């Protein structure tokens, strides 16, 4: 990346689910309708974001107190609609913004996924990506007929092969295969479409795909696993990695490590962008923002169960069974290993950890100008490549970011003020 400009994305946790219910500024949406998401996408495009990433998961959590109650009662990660039907609605409502749905490499059939993403890329004229996750929950595995989940490292071996196969299917049609030659009576040139005869350890597919090559060639490939296996997977295939880290030194170390891995995999380190999850608190004055951030911290401290239940559903560990004030020690998981490691590093006891719990970098508190300056400094220190906003989705928060913070970033020359290209991939790699 250039030293001056960086990229912006929005990581929408809980995706096509319930947002801000029973919270001030939560609005009064019908959560089954796509209106809030469409407005979000339009706002992000007005602010020239690179993309909106739609999180997903495939289970009802029951990782706190051994039951689903905690999650169902609070609409925590459930109910959640399938985000894929949102994608064409969002691309239809925008012209340049990238849209990145999440899919599971453990449970989606690769041929169907290749076709689905190719279709969306054709419909949107080159504006979709795909967030590849291995799915980490035992309950998700059971929803697909397994008794226990596939082992963590093997899931990544499968993911590797899955992505290889999907890319081969996208390449099974040449870019100029569709000739639509009326005089010769030929729609598709048969010379330009081939079987792939892929036979791997986990997947096989004859091919070719039964739709045309996606306009981007490869829709943008994204992943977020932070374990060594996750980073290797990223190094081999990905265009973007997203990471939720709490300190600038962790960001810097992650970036150095990832760039080394990408180079060792025979790729240009600049071919894989790394974007860091942030949740800023913005106010009209620095003092007002600080007060809001302190209020949020007080809520965290009064109610540690929320963080523990959230983390439980990501790591498949029931933290309600632990003493809140005893040293927590080492824990292992077949779930999200990178996330667990970071979680445990935030304190000695579970209470301490819950108090300090951050999903990403939150030390961005102040006026739009102040936060914009701080973001630019972080990027200077880390070297690139951008940020993913996250946090409770409300129209108020979206306006603070897209109408307050981003214009301040634009005045600094830190982010784009207009899109230069039609395709998502070209905008992402423009700098």
Using CB under 6 A, list all residues that contact ligand FMN.
11, 55-57, 102, 133-136, 152, 223-227, 229-230, 242, 244, 277, 336-339
From the CB of 345, what's the least distance to ligand FMN, in Å?
14
Between strands 198-199 and 204-205, the pairing is antiparallel
Query: Is 67 in a helix, a strand, or coil?
Result: strand
Distance CA 39, CA 322 (A): 42
Closer CB to ligand FMN, residue 9 or residue 215? 9
DSSP 262-317: HHHTTS-GGGSEEEEEE--EE-SSHHHHHHHHHHHHHHHHH-HHHHHHHHHHHHT-
Reported as type and span, the H/E element at residue 426 is helix 424-428
Closer CB to ligand FMN, residue 234 or residue 401? 234
Closer CB to ligand FMN, residue 257 or residue 369? 257
From the CB of 162, what's the least distance to ligand FMN, in Å?
13
From the CB of 102, what's the least distance to ligand FMN, in Å?
4
From the CB of 390, what's the least distance to ligand FMN, in Å?
8
Tokens of 413: 């020359």
Query: Is 91 in a helix, a strand, or coil?
Result: helix
Closer CB to ligand FMN, residue 94 or residue 229? 229
From the CB of 15, what's the least distance to ligand FMN, in Å?
7
Closer CB to ligand FMN, residue 334 or residue 367? 334
Closer CB to ligand FMN, residue 131 or residue 172? 131
From the CB of 200, what's the least distance to ligand FMN, in Å?
20
Closer CB to ligand FMN, residue 102 or residue 293? 102
Buried/exposed 300-314: b ≥16 CB within 10 Å, e otherwise: beeebbbbbbbbbbb
Q: Which residue pairs from 414-417 have beta carbons closer than 8 angstroms and sit at least 24 positions apart in sequence?
A: 414/4, 414/5, 414/6, 414/372, 414/375, 414/376, 414/379, 415/5, 415/6, 415/7, 415/8, 415/48, 416/5, 416/48, 417/48
From the CB of 229, what's the least distance to ligand FMN, in Å?
6
């Amino acid at each position: 990346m250039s030293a001056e400009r960086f990229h912006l994305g929005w990581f929408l946790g809980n995706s096509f689910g319930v947002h801000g219910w029973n919270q001030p500024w939560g609005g009064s949406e019908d959560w089954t309708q796509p209106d809030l998401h469409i407005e979000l996408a339009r706002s992000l495009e007005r602010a020239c974001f690179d993309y909106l990433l739609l999180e997903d998961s495939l289970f009802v959590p029951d990782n706190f107190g051994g039951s689903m109650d905690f999650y169902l009662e609070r609409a925590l990660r459930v109910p959640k609609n399938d985000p894929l039907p949102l994608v064409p609605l969002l691309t239809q409502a925008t012209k340049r913004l990238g849209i990145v749905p999440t899919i599971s490499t453990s449970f989606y059939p690769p041929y169907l996924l290749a076709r689905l993403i190719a279709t969306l890329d054709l419909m949107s004229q080159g504006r979709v990506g795909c967030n590849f996750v291995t799915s980490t929950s035992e309950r998700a595995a059971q929803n697909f007929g397994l008794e226990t989940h596939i082992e963590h490292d093997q899931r990544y071996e499968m993911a590797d092969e899955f992505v290889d196969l999907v890319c081969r299917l996208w390449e099974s049609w040449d870019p100029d295969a569709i000739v639509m030659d009326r005089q010769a009576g030929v729609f598709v040139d048969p010379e330009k479409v081939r079987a792939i005869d892929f036979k791997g350890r986990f997947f096989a597919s004859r091919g070719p795909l039964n739709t045309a090559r996606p306009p981007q060639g490869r829709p943008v490939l994204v992943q977020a696993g932070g374990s060594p296996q996750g980073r290797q997977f990223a190094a081999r295939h990905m265009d973007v990695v997203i990471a939720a880290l709490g300190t600038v030194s962790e960001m810097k170390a992650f970036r150095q490590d990832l760039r080394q891995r990408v180079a060792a995999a025979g790729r240009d380190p600049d071919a894989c962008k790394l974007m860091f999850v942030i949740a800023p608190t913005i106010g009209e004055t620095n003092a007002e923002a600080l007060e809001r951030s302190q209020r949020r911290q007080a809520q965290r401290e009064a109610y540690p169960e929320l963080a523990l239940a959230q983390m439980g559903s990501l790591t498949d560990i029931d933290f309600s069974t632990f003493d809140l004030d005893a040293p927590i020690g080492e824990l292992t998981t077949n779930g999200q290993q990178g996330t667990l490691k970071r979680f445990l590093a935030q304190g000695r006891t579970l209470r301490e950890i819950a108090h300090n719990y951050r999903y990403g970098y939150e030390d961005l508190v102040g006026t739009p100008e102040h936060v914009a300056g701080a973001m630019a400094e972080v990027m200077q220190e880390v070297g690139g490549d951008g940020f993913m906003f996250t946090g409770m989705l409300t129209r108020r928060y979206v306006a603070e970011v897209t109408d307050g913070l981003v214009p301040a970033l634009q005045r600094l020359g830190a982010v784009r003020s207009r899109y230069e290209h039609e395709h998502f991939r070209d905008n992402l790699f423009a700098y």
